[in-house]
Structure 1
Amino acid sequence: MRADRLVSLVLLLRQRGRLTADALARELEVSTRTVLRDIEALSAAGVPVYAERGRHGGFALLPGFRTELTGLNHDEALALLTAGSGRGEQVFGLGSALASAMRKVVDALPESHRATVRDAAQRILVEPETDLLSRRLVTEEVPGTTMTEIRRAVLGGHRLRIHYAATGQRPQWRTVDPIGLVTVRDRGYLLATRSGADRTYRLSRVSAAEGLPEPAQRPHQVDLDRIWRERCARFLSSDHVATLIRVNPERREELLGTAVAVRAAEPDTAGWLRLEATFQDLRHAEWALWQLGTDAEALSPEPLRTALRDRATAIATRYGNARA
């Protein structure tokens, strides 16, 4: 851990120039005292770091201290930095590790690529925290120590005990064989088996985790994309409501954000779209369609049309009466 921190400290000074001990401590998520000890260790190891006193002082490296990785071209480096700006690392607790990795990538670039790649990466934003309607995207939080235990078990191939609260149930300890981790729309999931049966656990509902020494009972090779598709298909085939909907294309993304899944889409009359959408239940479908007002129409099932008509009639009646 300390070796990684020392490398990150050197890379920060390489890329940003002079930095105070307080600034370094914030970046590395350690105390100022730890930074000072690390600076002393680097100096003892021959790294040319020096201190400048005064109001605008700090620590810096002598010019010319660098390494290069000539195998990365401009577009390859840009792809790495752009992918690193996504939000998956927040779901899986890898934010600090990603920041450290990105510093290493930038520092390893040839000088001719470094400035242009940095500028290009600033002009590409992946999954910001809010959309155009100022709706904040909420990333589900998982305690850091819990996420670390889960991640280690998944990557190390060991069994795992999790304290998990299923919907409408009290939390219980479960022993599972972890297969992999998946993130969808800032929600993280643990794919596993329990007593040989497939299980999918939402990470935000795991309050504690403990890695076990025995190896997980799982295949050595795994196709997470295929497994996820199969589990999604099983999930959608049980206790859900399938609907046929006409929607204004300008409201399509809103519908996608509330539906469990949208399986098909084709053009409809008046420039609208016809969608086959799945919802958790009839009440969920009614709520989702009501949010879209006259920009959507439920074509089926009939109970959904009836529920929306009755709600609209009740609203019209309420506001159709003159106020006393």
Structure 2
Amino acid sequence: MVLLLRQRGRMTAEQLANELEVSTRTVLRDIDALSTAGVPVYSDRGRYGGFSLLPGFRTELTGLNHDEALALLTAGSDRGQKVFGLSAPLASAMRKVVDALPEGHRASLEDAAKRFLVEPEIDLLSRRVAAEELADGVMSEVRSAVLTGRRLRFDYVPPGKTPLPRTVDPIGLVTVRGHTYLLATEAGDDRTYRLSRMLSAEALPEPAQRPAHVDLDRIWAERSTRFLSKDHLPVVVRVKSSRRDELLDATRAVRLEESEQGDWIRLDVTFEDLRHAVWAVRQLDTDAEVLVPEALRVALRDRASLLVNRYDSIRSPDVR
């Protein structure tokens, strides 16, 4: 809180609460605690009021805690835009880093940071990016099990099936296309789970059975290769670029993507089976066209014929 007030000047209780992800009651309580401890924080009443520090006040930089250091290391990696639920520790750590900089460097860094925007909420077509929704507590429990090397128990919902309990040995976390996956082993067999399909999760006391060293890039590449070689249905489909993300969200894997003339994209994807493919393509209406396999084209044609026959007896209203 002190670092926020130092760097931003006057802030309201609501602004502090939102930034620190706490309640306004907690903010007010901590303001009182700071004043009692001798920190010169004062309040201004009125429409433009809020809390401020006396000009020139500076405090010792508190050392980074575990989650803050982890967030910085993760965010600094080659593909660190996704920080596995560490956004609040990352913000706290960055405030401490900025506060430790010399005054001149701090001003130039703050200006530079305003000139970069990573993964905005909407794209150029004004489509809002769908955020991954996780059940309460899932990310923190999974992350804890991965980092402390403990076994993990969770309830998992496979596509189109009922929830199943799982107990696994976690290896690592991977984020791809906005989705977070747990790499693990179950009874010695390799397993990959999407966190958004976990209803609950609990890190167990017993240690996980896993190697001491890990190469997630290699493991992910191997599992991706095995996944694509499984008996899934390969499909080549043309889709309007505006509906591309909808199709990708429904597929199991993407093998190839190429641009075509106009506003179309050709995708080589895989689905669970024929029924899964029919369902996914039908959601896109006339904005998608299956090229192969022929069995899927026939299934879509037959489904369209059934709908035409069902509604063929309906006459169009007379136009006067």
| Higher mean displacement: 243-252 or 196-205 | 243-252
Residue 123 of structure 1 and its aligned partner are, at CA, apart by 4.6
% same residue: 60
Number of residue-to-residue matches in the alignment:
303
Structure 1 residues 316 and 110: CA distance shift in structure 2, 3 A: farther
1:51 and 2:42 matched: yes
Structure 1 residues 258 and 42: CA distance shift in structure 2, 3 A: same
Q: Which amino acid aligns with 1:162?
A: F
Q: Which secondary structure state, in structure 2, belongs to the residue aligned with residue 263 of structure 1?
A: strand
Q: Which amino acid aligns with 1:103?
A: R
Taking the TM superposition and a 5 Å limit, the aligned residue runs for 1:197-216 are 197-216=189-208
Q: Which amino acid aligns with 1:229?
A: A
More helix by share: 1
| 1:234 alignment counterpart | 226
In the alignment, is the contact (CA less than 8 A) between 2:170 and 2:182 conserved in 1?
A: yes
In the alignment, is the contact (CA less than 8 A) between 1:183 and 1:189 conserved in 2?
A: yes
In the alignment, is the contact (CA less than 8 A) between 2:255 and 2:269 conserved in 1?
A: yes
1:225 and 2:217 matched: yes
Distance, in Å, in 1 between the alignment partners of 2:33 and 2:79 is: 30
Residue 140 of structure 1 and its aligned partner are, at CA, apart by 1.5
Note the residue ranges of structure 1 that are not aligned, 5 or more in a row.
Answer: 1-8, 70-76
Match of 2:53 among 61, 66, 77: 61
Q: RMSD over aligned Cα, in angstroms?
A: 4.0
Structure 1 residues 320 and 98: CA distance shift in structure 2, 3 A: farther
Residue 10 of structure 1 and its aligned partner are, at CA, apart by 1.0
Note the residue ranges of structure 2 that are not aligned, 5 or more in a row.
Answer: 62-71
Structure 1 residues 168 and 39: CA distance shift in structure 2, 3 A: same
1:137 and 2:127 matched: no
Taking the TM superposition and a 5 Å limit, the aligned residue runs for 1:8-19 are 9-19=1-11
Q: Which secondary structure state, in structure 2, belongs to the residue aligned with residue 211 of structure 1?
A: strand
Residue 225 of structure 1 and its aligned partner are, at CA, apart by 2.3
Q: Deviations over 1:161-202 (max 9, x none)?
A: 223344455544433211111223333222111111112222
Residue 214 of structure 1 and its aligned partner are, at CA, apart by 2.8
| 2:89 alignment counterpart | 97
In the alignment, is the contact (CA less than 8 A) between 2:34 and 2:41 conserved in 1?
A: no
Distance, in Å, in 2 between the alignment partners of 1:119 and 1:53 is: 28
Match of 2:20 among 19, 28, 35: 28
Taking the TM superposition and a 5 Å limit, the aligned residue runs for 1:123-272 are 123-131=115-123, 132=125, 134-135=127-128, 137-144=130-137, 146-167=138-159, 169-246=161-238, 255-265=247-257
Distance, in Å, in 2 between the alignment partners of 1:316 and 1:199 is: 44
Structure 1 residues 275 and 66: CA distance shift in structure 2, 3 A: same
